[in-house]
């Protein structure tokens, strides 16, 4: 089957150009073609959110996006949120508040949470719970995830205030 086409993506700031079948799912492109194995596959049916990435500024479940639909897009995965020398506040906060156990949902959770806090920098607990309802965690029972996100929001707001 060779109906391959050339696609372009900008992933974590790096431009990528490659040949792929249009039907290839974005999660497979990211994980298998581009080596971004942070986002995971938990269902392939848009239910679990393990595959969450940011695509053109929106949280997207990359298991149900064809690479053809993403052509030309800007994508951020967990690998693009922070690095060992400069972690994202959420990455620190999840560790600090025990917001993860097996870690399989964590990249999707943190990627989604980073977007949520952009959309709503000062969420209530209920808003966090609602805003994160597209991401399933089987281990933590969410209590510490919610705590991690609220703590990160507070810290980010405090830093913003200090800077102003």
Residues that bind ligand FES (CB under 6 A): 41-44, 46-51, 61, 63, 100-106, 137-140
Give the number of other Cβ atoms within 10 Å of residue 125's Cβ. 11
- For the record, the structure tokens of 53 come out as 């990435």
For ligand FES, give the closer residue by CB, 5 or 23: 23
The verdict on 143 binding another protein (CB under 8 A) reads yes
The verdict on 55 binding another protein (CB under 8 A) reads no
Residue 70 CB, shortest distance to another protein, in Å, is 17
Question: Which DSSP string do the residues of 137-159 spell out, in sequence order?
Answer: -SSS-SHHHHHHHHHHHHHHHHH
Separation CA 21–CA 141 (nearest Å): 39
The verdict on 31 binding another protein (CB under 8 A) reads yes
The verdict on 110 binding another protein (CB under 8 A) reads yes
> Choosing among ligand FES, another protein, none, which partner's interface includes residue 21 (Cβ < 5 to 8 Å by kind)?
another protein
> Choosing among ligand FES, another protein, none, which partner's interface includes residue 130 (Cβ < 5 to 8 Å by kind)?
another protein
Q: Where are the alpha helices (DSSP H) in the chain?
A: 26-28, 67-70, 89-96, 106-119, 125-131, 143-163
Helix (H) or strand (E) holding 60: strand 58-61
Give the number of other Cβ atoms within 10 Å of residue 126's Cβ. 9
Residues that bind another protein (CB under 8 A): 1, 21, 23-24, 28, 31-32, 36-45, 47-48, 50, 77-79, 82-84, 87, 90-91, 94-96, 98, 100-107, 110, 128-130, 132-146
């Amino acid at each position: 089957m060779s109906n391959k086409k050339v696609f372009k993506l900008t992933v974590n700031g790096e431009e990528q150009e490659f040949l792929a079948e249009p039907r290839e799912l974005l999660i497979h492109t990211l994980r298998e073609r581009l080596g971004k194995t942070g986002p995971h596959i938990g269902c392939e049916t848009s239910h679990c959110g393990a595959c969450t990435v940011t695509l053109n500024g929106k949280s997207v479940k990359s298991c149900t996006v064809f690479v053809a639909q993403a052509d030309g897009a800007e994508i951020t995965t967990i690998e693009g949120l922070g690095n060992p020398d400069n972690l994202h506040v959420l990455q620190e906060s999840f560790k600090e508040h025990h917001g993860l156990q097996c870690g399989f949902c964590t990249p999707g959770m943190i990627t989604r949470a980073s977007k949520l806090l952009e959309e709503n920098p000062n969420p209530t607990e209920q808003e966090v719970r609602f805003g994160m309802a597209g991401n399933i965690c089987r281990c933590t029972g969410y209590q510490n995830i919610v705590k991690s996100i609220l703590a990160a929001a507070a810290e980010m707001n405090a830093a913003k205030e200090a800077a102003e």
